[in-house]
A = this chain, B = another copy of it.
Amino acid sequence: MERVEIKTLFSNANNYANQQVTVCGWIKTLRDSKALCFIELNDGSCFINLQIVMEEAKLTNYREITKLNVGSAIIIHGNVVLTPEAKQPLEIHAVAAEIEGVSTPDYPLQKKRHSLEFLRTIQHLRPRTNTFSAAFRVRSAAAYAIHKFFQEDGFVYAHTPIITGSDCEGAGEMFRVTTLDSLNPPLTEQGRVDFSRDFFEKPASLTVSGQLEAECMALAFGKVYTFGPTFRAENSNTPRHAAEFWMIEPEIAFADLSDDMRLAERMVKFVISYVLQTCPQEMQFFNDFYDKDKALIERLTSIVNADFGCVTYTEAVELLKQNNEAFEYPVSWGCDLQTEHERFLTEQIFKKPVFVIDYPKEIKAFYMRLNSDGKTVAAMDMLVPGIGELIGGSQREERLDVLTSRMNELGLATEDYSWYLDLRRYGGTRHAGFGLGFERLVMYLTGITNIRDVLPFPRTTGLCEF
């Protein structure tokens, strides 16, 4: 079957003028009168629909076609007619139509507005709606932009393991991965579960971060990034948390915190530009229907053109304290910043993206590099208007003695991390990296406020369908 995709037609309208073509697609809407019928057809190649005009006089199966339900798949042979005065550059005047697959009358996506909650119950069909068509296209474009940015800059893409024997951040509930009998697991003489008889001959979990492994790779390749799924078994039923999500974790050697911030800024700007450029229709849709001020595109464009600010945690706390009456949780030195504080900083004080750096070591992970003040670490969070923290990163502690004494302070068993410490024994260098939650980025790009609506098949507490 020689057919042309709708996207190809639209982007080469003049070449196809008055040509006969074959198009395939699904019926989005169908309006018919006695002798004339208009079909909005979508074949998935682009966000927008193609108008098909059918005349009863010209089609032997006109009655059959016009009785089709929304969602049916059809094949249309017809002539391309340019429509310079209309929204779309062309339409098709059908000369023949074939039914590829009908849609039964109980099709859940009838032409009306469906709530996002309802659509979550039909995850296998919701990609056919405007919102999810746009969301997953933007998701795909953003994912590619990430790869493009790093690959063109000479980074090596590192596939860090999903199943892991170690808990990187020493934090967060993890999922156990096992093949042992769940009812009657083998036991040791002491009556404990005998994990030596499990698949990996020890307890194994789903990774919460690929960072430690990425460090191994960075100390060989200089610049690497990961892009893969990560997991949290947290029982938190919020619009911002999923049990399974994708994360990007670049890691760079011979680099310090300011190199890290420059990289994060360049990356975010690149991804936003790429998505605005490659998904103009989808972004216009989100701008018009998902942003209360219809200012999404403007806001994203301003990020691309902004010089990101930078402030130390200590300075930030001083600035925020002056506005403590505005916050649910007042700030003081040593506390973790909440979203309300982050948004106040970037939206009210700086009015642009801003890095907060040099956090108290107590609220950050063991591997972050201790500053010379002995109290703060070389960490950075990138805060952006509308969402707060988008990226968190740090320079890593490359000094073996400082790192081990910090681990001892925290009660981490250094023998479990011997390979990680080896990186400091054998040609350790200053290095840094950050983590970007991919879904948070897609939410930021689209204005979608629930993480369940940017993941094709979200996994959350109690939910693992499809």
**A residues apposed to B, CB below 8 Å:** 1, 3, 5, 7, 24, 26-27, 43-45, 71-73, 75, 100-104, 107-109, 122-125, 127-128, 132-133, 136-137, 139-140, 143-144, 147, 151, 154, 156-166, 173, 175-180, 182-183, 185, 187, 192-193, 199-202, 204, 206, 213, 216-223, 228-229, 231, 233, 235, 243-244, 246, 253-254, 398, 419-420, 422-430, 455-457, 459, 461-466
Contact = CB atoms under 8 A, between A and B. Distances in A.
B183 A254 contact: no
Contacts of A254: 1, 3, 24, 43, 73, 75, 100
A138 to B, nearest CB: 10
Contacts of A185: 182-183
Most B CB contacts (10 A, CB to CB) among A244, A423, A464 go to A464
A220 B457 contact: no
A156 B44 CA distance: 9
A204 B424 CA distance: 39
A204 B151 contact: no
A7 to B, nearest CB: 6
B459 A200 contact: yes
Contacts of A253: 24, 43-44
A176 B173 CA distance: 16
A176 B182 contact: yes
Nearest to A107: B426
24 contacts: A43-B254, A44-B156, A44-B253, A71-B427, A73-B427, A73-B429, A100-B254, A100-B430, A103-B427, A125-B220, A125-B426, A140-B156, A143-B157, A160-B456, A161-B464, A163-B243, A165-B464, A175-B179, A176-B179, A177-B177, A179-B233, A182-B193, A200-B463, A228-B229
A151 to B, nearest CB: 5
Contacts of A24: 253-254, 429
B101 A44 contact: no
B159 A455 contact: yes
Contacts of A216: 123-125, 127, 456, 466
A334 to B, nearest CB: 32
Contacts of A398: 101
Contact of A159 (B100, B456, B461): B456
Contacts of A139: 157, 159
A222 B426 contact: no
Given A71-B427, A72-B427, A133-B220, A244 B161 contact: yes
B462 A162 contact: no
Contacts of A102: 427
A64 to B, nearest CB: 15
A124 B183 contact: no
A136 B124 contact: no
Nearest to A185: B182
Given A127-B221, A183-B192, A136 B161 contact: no
Given A44-B223, A44-B253, A182-B180, A459 B163 contact: yes
A156 B228 CA distance: 17
A185 B235 CA distance: 18
Given A179-B175, A192-B183, A222 B101 contact: no
B5 A162 contact: no
A72 B429 CA distance: 9
A296 to B, nearest CB: 21
Nearest to A233: B179
Nearest to A461: B199
A175 B177 contact: yes
A14 to B, nearest CB: 20
A291 B127 CA distance: 46
A459 B202 CA distance: 12
Contacts of A101: 398, 424, 427-429
A179 B132 CA distance: 31
